[in-house]
Structure 1
Amino acid sequence: MKVLVTGATSGLGRNAVEYLRNKGISVRATGRNEAMGKLLSKMGAEFVPADLTELVSSQAKVMLAGIDTLWHCSSFTSPWGTQQAFDLANVRATRRLGEWAVAWGVRNFVHISSPSLYFDYHHHRDVQEDFRPHRFANEFARSKAASEEVINLLAQANPNTRFAILRPQGLFGAHDKVFIPRLAQMMQHYGSVMLPRGGRALVDMTYYENAVHAMWLASQPQCDHLPSARRGISPTVNRAPCAASCKS
């Protein structure tokens, strides 16, 4: 097994590389932070610096050579940005990477999406996976929904590659550059952390390693007989694809 991890210099991607290397899995990691890439290389990963928004087919061919599983963690996750920026990073790059993965024989493609595509400024519990708001909350949510449609179309047209979509909620843990830093900024600015509904709201959170474990389960041979799928991840990963039916 050889896994390509995109977005490997960010929180989820870096945790994914560490998880795989601890299992002795061969890893090719890609990202834009070359300093972080050197640390990944010291773990035993093969680091390929790349910006997926600028990737061309010749680079993709080299990047995907010998890869049977791809974990697509790369994403533009800013709460602010232009439609063009989100489309370029989250939709177009995903489409091109998926097409190249199919062309070069990748067997499993795990795409990391986001439950932000559910958000409509109302409280929900036990949301169905196909729920969509009348209007997306921001460009990030819209672009992640669009990226899922890209994956769904690729899955329908290419049965030899198994696609899975995961929507981890509220990622946190080692190497976090998003959630904890924002909480720290809030603490610094306000002197406290404001809790949703004064602390009465139930909020799902996902530890990085739990999300990575779900990616691992979705990549196992026991899942080959299952159709391409999309799933959310609870804090205990009990809704990740294959978690119940494909344990070894």
Structure 2
Amino acid sequence: MPSILIVDDEANIRSSLAGALGREGYQADAAATLAEAKAKVREAYDLILLDVRLPDGSGLDLLSEVMNAAPETAVIMMSGHATIDDAVRATRLGAFDFLEKPVSLERLLVLLRNASSRVALAAENRRLRHAWEAPIIGRSPAIRHLLEEIERAGPSAARVLIQGEHGSGKELVARALHASGPRRTQPFVAVNCSAIPEELIESELFGHERGAFTGATQSRRGCFEEAHGGTLFLDEVGDLSPRAQTKLLR
């Protein structure tokens, strides 16, 4: 079931809503202040039930932040002192709906079912859109940020430096960058630089002609030529010797 964050400064409202929604199968969490809510939304929630007036600020400010950071989240605003201006602003900021207190549980459950359907549809659309692009699984803010960076960098012709510890998935990111850009139909060539002896690095990267050196019995295409029009992923490029890196830069 979807996860939901309840943000309200009244303890009895938080408790009653969390209990009722928990019985309906929702994974309910709660926050009493704007600061507490901001700390919690660093996690991924499918739904947020958000009071407009909080002791340390306006829920509308949090709504704006959530819509900028995670626009697929469905946020339902609620207030016992709402004005038309509040409702209009909430709608413009991207709120799914606006409820007046006291909240009707029946009405709330209908809204949450509708909002959950929208969230599920958005998630499925993203999954289908990224299925061939990025085999990267996760819903955390860090993973969402990574996928957004891939979407921004993929269409670019700029060189991209991917940093990460061994086994962290640098090649997955490289393949996702390749698949999300205009080079997706062209070759993707991965080279493990740390596995190539220094005396062979020039031949491996740039190729050679037959007879270019002793033992060169036939011409060989280098990795750069093989990846022409596509993407060349130089894994562990930092392991190349300074001399080899100089040749690469030239």
TM-score by length of 2: 0.39
Greater relative contact order (Cα 8 A, min sep 6): structure 1 or 2? 1
Structure 1 or 2, whichever has the larger Rg, is 2
